[in-house]
Structure 1
Amino acid sequence: MSFTLAIVGRPNVGKSTLFNRLVGKRLALVDDQPGVTRDLREGEARLADLRFTVIDTAGLEDATDDSLQGRMRRLTERAVDMADVCLFMIDARTGLTPVDEMFAEILRKRAKHILVAANKGEGAAADAGVIEAWNLGLGEPIRLSAEHGEGLNDLYTALLPITEELALTRVEDAPDTDVAVDVDAEAAPDHAPTKSKPLQIAVVGRPNAGKSTLINQILGEDRLLTGPEAGITRDAISLQIDWNGTPCRIFDTAGMRKKARVQEKLEKLSVSDGLRAVKFAEVVVVLLDAAIPFEQQDLRIADLAEREGRAVVVAVNKWDVEPEKQQKLRDLKEAFTRLLPQLKGAPLITVSAKTGKGLDRLHAAIARAHDIWNRRVTTAQLNRWLEGMVAAHPPPAPQGRRIKLKYMTQAKTRPPGFVVMCSHPDKMPESYTRYLVNGLRETFDMPGTPIRLTLRGQGDKNPYKGRKKPGPSKLRKHLGKGRADDR
C-alpha cells in the first residue's frame, strides 16, 4: 500500500540525506551548512517491498513569528498534519537537546504515528545519543546512518506494522463506489498531457520575481515558502497538479543571478538544480518583474531555454501595481521583439501572482506553446512550401554555381526539427537559413518555438572525388612497375 512519511527534526540532522537515500536519487540539496532545505519536497520512495511518498521538510526552528524561520516552521507543521507517519530525526553524535524535547511534545499532539531515528549512528561515538533518545518517550529509537545506508532494515521493520494498520483502516473507511476508468487517453493526441505523463513546466527567472507566489496562486494554497526576501527558494521543487483540466508538473526554481555574483557553494548548487529543471521541462515560463523587465540576466535565461530546445512563454509579473499599463505593454512588446529575435512570436503574458489575474491567459499560452512544440508537418506540405520559397527568393550561387534545394522533411518534434537535402550545404549563408526558418514560422503557424533546420548534402556518386591526383614521378613509377610485372 502507499502512505506518506514526513521526515522532521532540527536543522542539519541529515533529513535531506535520508530523503535522497529513500528515493534513490540526489534530488534534495545537501550541505554541511544548517538550514539548506526550506520548502517541502516530495518524492516516491522505496524500501524493500514498501512503496510510499516521502516528504523532506525544513529544520524545525524555535520561532513562531512571521520571520523566515517562523514561516518555515509553519510549513513543516503542515507536512506533519498531512503525513500518515512522522519520522522524527535527532543527531546521535550531538545527543538529545532541549529543542528536540520541545518538538517531541509538539509532534506527540499533532502526528498520527511517530517514529524516532537517531541519525549519524555509525561508530561508538553515537552510543550515548542513541540511549538518550529513549528519554523522548516515543518508543525504541532506530539507529540510522543515512549517509552510509545503515539501519534501513530497522526502519523497514518499524514501518511494517504501521502500514498494515493504515491499510486496514482505509479498507474499513473506503466507500462502496464504482471505479472510474479514464477512457479518453486513447482518443487524445500522442503529446496530450495525461496523469501518467503530465505537462512539465519550469518557472524560471531572477530572484524575487515572484515565482513561488505564482505557483502558490495556481495551486490555490500556500504550498511553497514565499516572502519579501530575495533567494528564499533553493531547491527545484516539483509539484503535480491539475490546472484547469490539464495534468501538470510544475517546477519552482531558485532565482538565477549573474554568474559573477554567485560566489557561495550553496547558491551554485541551487542554480545548477534550476538549470537541470529547465532541461527536463517541456515548457519554460520566464518570469519577469514589471518594474525592471528584460535585464541582461532575463535575456540570458530566455536564451538558455531556447538553446535547450524548450517551448518558451514570457510572463511579466506584478502587473497589478503598474500605473501606465497600455504604454508599458507597448514598450515591453517592442523590447521583446528587439532583444529576443530568436523567440520571435513567443507569447508575452501579463500576470499578477498576488491577485491571480491573468492566470487563465497564462494557461492558454502554455497549452498552445506545448502544442506548437509537438507539431508535425507532412513531407508533401513541406516540399510544396519549399518550391514556393525558392521561387520567391532563390538561394545564392557561390563561385557561379547555384545551390540547389532538392528535398525537405521533418525529422523530429519537441522541438520541430527539419532536414533539407541540398548541394553544397557548407556554402549556404546564415541569412538564407534564417529566411527559411522565418518562413516555416509564418506558413505553418509555429511562433516562438525553437526550430532546428539542418542542411545536408546528398553525397556524390564519383568514388574518385576528393582523391589527390598522382604526380608525374608516382605515375612513371607505377607504369614502370607494371611493365616489369609483364616481363
Structure 2
Amino acid sequence: MTNELKKIALIGQPNVGKSSLFNRIAKKRIAIVSDMAGTTRDIRKHEVEILDRDALMLDTGGIDDTNDAIFSNVKRKAVECAKEADIILFMVDGKKIPDEKDKELFYELQTLGKKLALVVNKIDNDKEKDERLWAFFEFGIDEENLFGISVSHNRGTKSLFEWIWEKLPPRVEEEVINYEVDDDDYLEDFLAPVEDINESADFQDDGEIRVAIIGRTNVGKSSILNALVGAERSVVSPIAGTTIDPVDESFEYKDKNITFVDTAGLRRRGKIEGIEKFALMRTKEMLEIANLALVVLDASEELYDLDEKIAGLVDQYGLGTIIVLNKWDENREDFKEFEEKVRRKFKFLYYAPIIAVSAKTGRSIDRLKDKLVEIYENYSQRVPTSTLNKAIETAVMRHALPSPAGNFLRIYYSTQFETKPPRIALIMNKPKLLHFSYKRYLINFLRDNINFEGTPIHLVARGKGQREESEEELEDF
C-alpha cells in the first residue's frame, strides 16, 4: 500500500527545521531534533495522515553545498528524492536573508514540474512576517505557494497542512468528506504538540523480522544495510559517524518481511557529545523494538573493548543475534583463528553464528539473508512439550540432579511458555534449590538436541501452581 501513497519530500539546508516539521506532521518524535547543523543525513520515511488523507513523508538530509564528501552525497540523494516525490516542501530559515544556494536549488526543483511550496520557517510573529516574508518572493514563488511558519510555536502550520491536503487524493475506501478548512475544532487534535503523542502505540508484535544493526562507528553498518536491501538507501562515507538517525528499510525475502534498523554508530561514553547522546538513546529504543541484531565488527582491525560493550546491549535486550565480520578479504585464510578470538571476546554470545562478509564485494550477503530467516525461526519457535520433556528426561538420566544439603530435587515436567526469545519452565518440587550450573547444563543439552542457534534461552525453575517468575529465578543462556 505504501507505494500507492503520494510522496511528500522535505528539502532544505541543515538546521532550518525540517526534522521538527517532519515530527509535527508525523505526530511523533521520529527524527532526531537538535540545534546542531547537519543532524539529519539519511532519508527517513513515515506514513502520515493529513486531515483524512494519507501520504508518505520523506525527510531528506540537510543540503549544504560544500566540498565535503558527506554533504555532496546528501545533496545528490535529496535531489533524487525530490524527483520521485509528488509534492515538495522546500524549507528555508526565515531568520536569514534569502540564500543564493537556496534560490539556485529552488529553480532546479521548479523544473521538475511537481507541486512545490516554499516554507519559510522561524517566522515567530506578525512583525517578522511583515518584515521578512516579502523578501522570499525573490524565489519567483506565487503567494498561494509561499508559507511563513514557526514549527516551534506551531504558527502558520494550519495553512500549510490545508495546502498539502488539497494536493492529496481522498481515501478510496471511504466516502469523500467535504471539510471546512477553517474548522479549528477538527484541526486541534491534528496540530497537537508533538510531546503529547504516545510514541509506543505504533509498535506491536506483528510477526515482522525487525533487525537492529549495531557496532562501532565506521565498521560498515550502512554499507551492510545497502548490500542486504540491494540499493543505496543509507548515506555511506568513510568519515566516522555519518549515520546519525536510525533508518528503517523493509524488503521481502523468502516470504518474510524484513525491516532493518541501521542504528547510529556508538562511541565511548566519554566521547558522546551533543547529538550523539540523542543517537545513543534512539539506538536503545530501536533495540527494544527489534527482535534480531547484527553485531558488526571490522575484520580489518583488532577487536576493542567497545565492541564488547556494544554487543552487551544485545545480550541485555535478549535478541536473536548474528556476529558479522565485515571487510573480510576474499584471500584471507585465518577465519578459524579470528573466530576463536571473537569467541573469547564475546563469551556471552556463544550461541550466535559468525559470518564473514564483504559489503563492498557482496561476499556472503545472500548467506547472511538466509541466516537471518533461520535465526528468526529459532527465536520465535514453540517447541512441543513432549519434545522438551524427552530432552530434559534424557539430560537428567545422563547427569543426575544434585542434592543440595541432602534435599531431593525432582523435575515433574518442562514446558515452553513464551517465544521471542524462548522461555522454558521447569516445574519442580524445590525450584529455589536448583543451582545455576545445572541450569546451564540443561540449556547446553537442549541446544545439542534442538536448533536454538542464534537465540538466547531463558530457563525458569518453578513450583507447582507458580505462575510468575522473579528476576532471581530467571537465567539467560
* Same structural fold, with TM-score higher than 0.5 when normalized by the shorter chain: yes
CA RMSD of aligned residues (A): 2.2
Equivalent positions of 1:352-371 (< 5 A) are: 352-371=358-377
- Counterpart-to-counterpart distance in 2, 1:335 and 1:11: 43
Instruction: Sort the Cα spacing of 1:377 and 1:164 in 2 relative to 1 into closer, same or farther, 3 A.
Output: closer
Instruction: Sort the Cα spacing of 1:246 and 1:294 in 2 relative to 1 into closer, same or farther, 3 A.
Output: farther
Are the equivalent residues in 1 in contact too, given 2:69–2:237 (CA < 8 A)?
A: no
Instruction: Sort the Cα spacing of 1:34 and 1:108 in 2 relative to 1 into closer, same or farther, 3 A.
Output: same
- Counterpart-to-counterpart distance in 2, 1:97 and 1:32: 19
1:150 to 134, 152, 155: 155
Code of the aligned partner of 1:346: A
Structure 1, residues 373-403: CA drift from partner, whole Å, max 9, x if none?
A: 0111112222222222222212221221122
2:464 to 439, 443, 458: 458
Corresponding position: 1:238 with 2:248: yes
Q: CA deviation at 1:437?
A: 1.1
- Structure 2 counterpart SS, 1:455: strand
Q: CA deviation at 1:55?
A: 0.9
1:226 to 236, 259, 262: 236
- Structure 2 counterpart SS, 1:319: coil
Give the equivalent residue in structure 2 for 1:407: 413
Structure 1, residues 329-349: CA drift from partner, whole Å, max 9, x if none?
A: 111222233333333342111
**Which sections of structure 2, spanning at least 5 residues, go unmatched?**
173-205, 467-477
Are the equivalent residues in 2 in contact too, given 1:40–1:58 (CA < 8 A)?
A: yes
- Counterpart-to-counterpart distance in 2, 1:221 and 1:448: 27
Are the equivalent residues in 2 in contact too, given 1:114–1:138 (CA < 8 A)?
A: no
- Counterpart-to-counterpart distance in 2, 1:359 and 1:337: 22
Q: CA deviation at 1:154?
A: 0.9
Structure 1, residues 143-172: CA drift from partner, whole Å, max 9, x if none?
A: 32222333332123212443359x9xxxxx
Corresponding position: 1:49 with 2:52: yes
Give the equivalent residue in structure 2 for 1:473: none
- Structure 1 counterpart SS, 2:111: helix
Give the equivalent residue in structure 2 for 1:351: 357
- Counterpart-to-counterpart distance in 2, 1:390 and 1:91: 71
Q: CA deviation at 1:76?
A: 1.1
Equivalent positions of 1:157-236 (< 5 A) are: 157-164=162-169, 198-236=208-246
Q: TM-score normalized by structure 1? A: 0.83
Q: CA deviation at 1:273?
A: 1.4
- Counterpart-to-counterpart distance in 1, 2:113 and 2:311: 44
Provide the aligned length of Structure 1 versus Structure 2.
427
Code of the aligned partner of 1:298: D
Are the equivalent residues in 2 in contact too, given 1:16–1:56 (CA < 8 A)?
A: yes
Q: CA deviation at 1:95?
A: 4.1
1:287 to 296, 321, 333: 296
Q: CA deviation at 1:244?
A: 5.9
- Counterpart-to-counterpart distance in 1, 2:411 and 2:218: 49
Displaced runs of 4+ in structure 1, greater than 6 A?
none
Give the equivalent residue in structure 2 for 1:248: 258
Whichever of the two has the greater Rg, that structure is 1
2:38 to 32, 35, 40: 35
Give the equivalent residue in structure 2 for 1:7: 10
Code of the aligned partner of 2:235: L
- Counterpart-to-counterpart distance in 2, 1:350 and 1:153: 52
Are the equivalent residues in 2 in contact too, given 1:343–1:449 (CA < 8 A)?
A: no
Q: CA deviation at 1:368?
A: 0.8
Instruction: Sort the Cα spacing of 1:243 and 1:379 in 2 relative to 1 into closer, same or farther, 3 A.
Output: closer
Structure 1, residues 174-230: CA drift from partner, whole Å, max 9, x if none?
A: xxxxxxxxxxxxxxxxxxxxxx85421111111111111112222333221111111
Q: CA deviation at 1:277?
A: 1.6
Are the equivalent residues in 2 in contact too, given 1:118–1:143 (CA < 8 A)?
A: yes
- Structure 1 counterpart SS, 2:266: coil
Give the equivalent residue in structure 2 for 1:265: 274
Corresponding position: 1:61 with 2:67: no
Of all paired residues, the percent bearing the same amino acid is 31
Give the equivalent residue in structure 2 for 1:298: 307
Q: CA deviation at 1:56?
A: 0.9
Equivalent positions of 1:371-390 (< 5 A) are: 371-390=377-396
Q: CA deviation at 1:66?
A: 6.3
